[in-house]
Amino acid sequence: MVRKVTRKRVDRSDWTGFLAAAEENYASACAVQASRKYRAAGILLVHAAIAIADALTVRAGGVKSTGEHHQETVDLVRELLPNAVGLGPALRHLETIIHEKGRASYTGDPFTATDIARMRSHHERYALWAKEQLRT
């Protein structure tokens, strides 16, 4: 089912601010992971991944998702970068991060060290792809 993505206009030059926020959130996630604060690390990883998606969509289309569901962000990246090489695998990494957040939020299960390690791995792969898109 295709969902309508709620979006807001953003000046295309603002994409760098979203990327900076992503990098800050990722660094913070790594720091709190080292302190065994897995809930905080998981939330920061989700925010980092979404901020990278915002950087992509702002640069590509001058818009960012404002929807209640993180899947709308994934849909907007897919819409604005349909021909990007490696799009499918990259979005699967993003979706996996989002799914982990949903699992923890809706089941009440806490993030574990293994969950955070897995989320970081997906984030690193997704971020590598996204930064390549932002360089082109």
Q: Is residue 2 part of a domain?
A: no
For residue 74, give the nearest of 15, 126, 22 by alpha carbon. Answer: 126
Number of domains making up the chain: 1
Q: Is residue 93 part of a domain?
A: yes
pLDDT in tens, 11-66: 999 999 999 999 999 999 999 999 999 999 999 999 999 999 999 999 999 999 99
Structural domain including 23 reads 9-135
Q: Is 74 left (phi over 0), alpha (psi -120 to 50) or beta?
A: alpha
Q: Is residue 79 part of a domain?
A: yes
Share the mean pLDDT of the chain. 93
Structure pTM?
0.91
Q: Is residue 107 part of a domain?
A: yes
Instruction: Report the CATH number that the domain containing residue 31 is assigned in CATH.
Output: 1.20.120.330
pLDDT in tens, 52-101: 999 999 999 999 999 888 899 999 999 999 999 999 999 999 999 999 88
Which residue type, as a one-letter code, is found at position 1? M
